[in-house]
Amino acid sequence: MNTMASSPTPLLELKGMRKVYQTVVANDHIDLCVLPGEIHAVLGENGAGKSTLMKMIYGVTQPTAGKLFWQGQDTNISNPSQARKLGIGMVFQHFSLFETLSVVENVALGLDNPPKLKQLAQDITEISNRYELPIDPFRSVHTLSVGEMQRVEIIRCLLQEPKLLIMDEPTSVLAPSAVRKLFETLRQLAAEGCSILYISHKLDEIQALCHTATVIRSGKVVATCTPANETPQSMARMMIGKDLTAYKHQASIPGETLLKISGMSCASNDPFGIHLNNIHLAVRAGEILGVAGISGNGQKELLYAISGEELVSQSDAIQICGVNVGKMNARGRRQLGLSFVPEERLGRGAVPEMSLQDNALLTMIKPVVVEHGLVQSDKVRAYASACIEKFDVKCNGPQSEAQSLSGGNLQKFIVGREIMQDPKVIVLAQPTWGVDIGAALFIRQTLLELRNKGVAILVISEEIDELFEISDRIVVMADGKLSPTKLTQDTNVEEIGVWMSGLWPETDQPTALAAV
Amino acid sequence: MLLKFEKRPVASELMRYISPVLSIAMTLACGFILFGLLGKDPIKAFEIFFINPLKTSYGISELFLKATPLILIATGLSIGFRANVWNIGAEGQFILGAIAATGVAIHFDYHPKLLLLTEMAIAGMLGGMLWAGITAFLRTRFNTNEILVSLMLVYVAQYLAEWFVHGPWKDPDGFGFPQTVLFTENALLPTLFDGLRVNLSLLVALFFLVIAYIFIFKSFSGFKMLVSGYAKAASRYAGFSINSSVWLGLLAGGAMAGIAGMTDVSGPGGQLTAHISNGYGFAAIIVAYVGRLHPVGIFFSGLLMALLYLGGEQAQHYLNLPASIGRVFQGMLLFFLLGLDILVQYRIRYTGFTRKEA
């Protein structure tokens, strides 16, 4: 990229950055230029090479080729400590905090030369006041919400007075109101002269926040643009290289209730878990019920109870197709027609070391492939191959190990595997989490088709927009409780966003049954 | 740091099979040095240790005889190990199998040979399963650690055997030695070749290897156990019971160790003695791992381990070395194997002198 002679010296300039992992070219000749005080978006689908690029800037990995200029100087950043000394801070997508320690202890652990805890606590309070990031430095991290944890990570960076702050998909864990708050903080930082590299695949956010965007596809820079001059569609086209096909949400007439939870309460075994409190919920044939909410509010526990991975003491607290299943294990519930896509793909939804074929066998009830205790592997292979083809899973055939697939492709395989079981009820947790736009669209489209065929669908997602796109009704989960249900057309993102913090009007009706 | 371990993106299939071969090579290399340090001519010592036992048909027969219980036990253990069920107490289950088979042999010695041997085999399996079942029960009911429980039960089993041979089953004509009467001909396993001691138990072991192969690679139960070994959460997600994996893993190990105990008392010895505990149950753990928990691998590693036993005896006779030299080789073999197994998941990379931060 050329900077004009009159422009200020770029804070950071990358020229021809290239990173090769064994046989995979993760970054190929990437040029990037960040000016002081600029909020610069790096936009790309999952697997496009955004994270690799950030890791090279932060010194986590070394480039195979290319040059990095920091304030005009040719610089070689060999480790994160050196990056921090230069003035580069990074907030990772996955936090690195110790749950049992307090905020100030966690911050101290992340600093190269931490001051005394008391002094540090004062510094934290000062920063948190200046940037409106309220946090009590002496609280234990496990009592914090995800948004607050992110604040801790940001404060940890700000304490070092960075010139460049790298934010990796920061809004994936935040409620809408928290997103607005974060943006204000970031704008304030930029106004003070700190540059921000903002990594995301959410187009609306980039339009709202960023001055410039560099679009990466398959490890290469495909465009640099000014988001304010673009439309989400035009940026999406740059990002995925083709037009997206839109889908239709037709009205449907829901049938009988196929999944019903009545008055379920259960205490979590996990010391940091959430206790479920008097949950009522009903999903009918031919409808999609969306459960909104910030994760860590009981979604995990609710899913365990529905799937049968955790049994509940009252057999009739959960009914699938009219059968009491509270004490039935997961396989039994599958036999009744339940399919389930969990949030964790590797290690729960799929065994990482096993082939796709074996992972198909994991939840296979139909067609029957076990005779006299022996597995008919040719039938399983055919099923896995059909799933790979039908759901466009990119892999080296049914023998590929699950862990060799990218997150999005594995998700397509798992969703496909569950759908091909011809379920009456399907429950999905974060169905498009970490999945690229094309695949996410495909998965949503498939869910709508299933709904039109009369399947009862429960979707638990943090992506509020996704829920509004596909759900017929929406309910919010907060602190182990469920809000009243709303028809999607009768509510809006604002209202649901408020409810996500647990502030919904009390009603006498059992929640979620309101519309039944 | 000059060298660092770097996680491989995909486990190396090649290293999985090379590492046992490499660990054998390293064991031999260290053995070479060891013999030298002990003042023996290493080449000669090697010949005595590794070649002498195989020079005669009698030697080969002894090799298979020795390998049989190791293969049997390791086969059973591999079923549990694949599901991360750590049965370390095969030695105790072996002893219980021997005790149960002995009970049948001395109380029903009037039964015809085929019937009696079948009864002894079943008793042996049940004995081993009973002992392993205690561990399974405590693990599934009270979540006790199966490593500790199964290991401690080995000592209980040893005392139990001693009590039998010092007490109720002591041979009245045995000059006070702690042993039972010699079994009648009907209670002894028939040999396969005239003049050689290798017996029917070898075929039994091969039979169970085939069964284990089918169970592990073809059956749905085997698949369920494999899943619970790889990922507990996935096992729960699929609705496979972890407790039944624990039971199945321990009972398979117990049954195979038990029948190995039966073949021991019913073989050339032909009686139960206070020295029934001979370490096969522990050596079989090494056999299972060197054989990559795979039936075919276990067959060969069983033969290798048997050779180390025989070589140890030869070294004792002809080289004046202590009997424990065989154990030293066993230990080195396992040590190198576990060390080299890191290379399946990791590779070594030369990083030069730059300091890396995690």
Size of interface A-B (CB pairs under 8 A): 76
A181: which strand partners? Answer: none
B253: which strand partners? Answer: none
What pLDDT is recorded for position A168? 86
- The more confidently predicted of residues A253 and A155 is A155
Judge residue A79's burial from the number of C-beta atoms within 10 Å of its C-beta, 0-12 exposed, 13-18 middle, 19 or more buried. Answer: middle
Ranges of each domain in chain B: 70-181+200-293
Hey, is the C-beta of B218 within 8 angstroms of any chain A C-beta? Answer: yes
Of A21, A334, A377, the CB nearest to B239: A334
- The more confidently predicted of residues A236 and B248 is B248
What pLDDT is recorded for position A2? 45
What sign results for the dihedral spanned by CA atoms B120, B123, B127, B133?
positive
Return the SS3 of A157.
helix
pTM over 0.80: no
Give me A27's structure tokens: 């970054």
To 10 degrees, what angle do helices B295-319 and B57-82 make? 130
Cα–Cα dist A218/A238, whole Å = 12
Judge residue A249's burial from the number of C-beta atoms within 10 Å of its C-beta, 0-12 exposed, 13-18 middle, 19 or more buried. Answer: middle
Once rounded to an integer, what is the mean pLDDT over residues A407-422?
90
Cα–Cα dist A515/A254, whole Å = 11
Highest mean pLDDT among A12-26, A366-380, B245-259: B245-259
A440-467 core/surface letters (b: 16 or more CB in 10 A; e: else): bbbbbebbbebbeebbbbbbbbbbbebb
Structure confidence by residue, pLDDT tens digits, A34-77: 999 999 999 887 667 888 898 899 988 888 889 999 998 899 88
Q: Among B203, B196, B212, B253, which residue's Cα sits nearest to residue B77?
A: B253
Once rounded to an integer, what is the mean pLDDT over residues B214-219?
95
At B159, phi and psi to the nearest 5? Answer: -65, -35
Residue A401 clears pLDDT 50, i.e. is over it = yes
Structure confidence by residue, pLDDT tens digits, A426-435: 999 988 876 7
Angle at B132 between CA B128 and CA B137, to 5 degrees: 145
Q: Taking CB atoms and an 8 Å limit, are B355 and A79 in contact across chains?
A: yes
Mean pLDDT estimate for chain A: 86
Of B223, B240, B356, the CB nearest to A358: B223
Question: Which residues from B are below 8 Å from A334, CB to CB?
Answer: 239
Is the separation of the CB atoms in A457 and A287 below 8 Å?
A: yes
Q: Taking CB atoms and an 8 Å limit, are B239 and A352 in contact across chains?
A: no
Question: Which residues from A are below 8 Å from B236, CB to CB?
Answer: 309, 330, 348
Residue A511 clears pLDDT 60, i.e. is over it = no
What is this model's ipTM?
0.82
Hey, is the C-beta of B115 within 8 angstroms of any chain A C-beta? Answer: no
Structure confidence by residue, pLDDT tens digits, A331-361: 999 999 999 999 888 889 999 989 999 999 9
Task: Tell me the percentage of chain B whose pLDDT exceeds 70.
Answer: 96
Q: Taking CB atoms and an 8 Å limit, are A361 and B223 in contact across chains?
A: yes
A371: which strand partners? Answer: A374
Cα–Cα dist B190/B102, whole Å = 17
Of A80, A347, A374, the CB nearest to B231: A347
What pLDDT is recorded for position B96? 97
A38-77 core/surface letters (b: 16 or more CB in 10 A; e: else): bbbbbbbbbbbbbbbbbbbbbbbbebeebebbbeeeeeeb
Search chain B and give the residue with CA nearest A21: B9
Highest mean pLDDT among B18-32, B70-84, B305-319: B70-84
Q: Which domains does chain A have, with CATH numbers?
A: 12-240 (3.40.50.300), 247-337+423-516 (3.40.50.300), 350-422 (no CATH)
Of A78, A308, A354, the CB nearest to B230: A354
Cα–Cα dist B158/B279, whole Å = 11
What pLDDT is recorded for position A355? 93
Structure confidence by residue, pLDDT tens digits, A367-389: 888 888 999 999 999 999 999 99
Structure confidence by residue, pLDDT tens digits, B273-332: 988 888 999 999 999 998 989 999 999 999 999 998 998 888 888 888 887 888 888 889
What sign results for the dihedral spanned by CA atoms A95, A98, A100, A102?
negative
Structure confidence by residue, pLDDT tens digits, A211-226: 999 999 888 898 899 9
Using left for φ > 0, alpha for ψ between -120 and 50, and beta otherwise, residue A296 falls in left
Once rounded to an integer, what is the mean pLDDT over residues A187-198?
92
Hey, is the C-beta of B12 within 8 angstroms of any chain A C-beta? Answer: no
Residue B236 clears pLDDT 50, i.e. is over it = yes
Hey, is the C-beta of B231 within 8 angstroms of any chain A C-beta? Answer: yes
What pLDDT is recorded for position B213? 96
A167-176, A181-190, B168-177: which range is least confident on average?
Answer: A167-176
> Which amino acid is residue A51, in one-letter code?
S
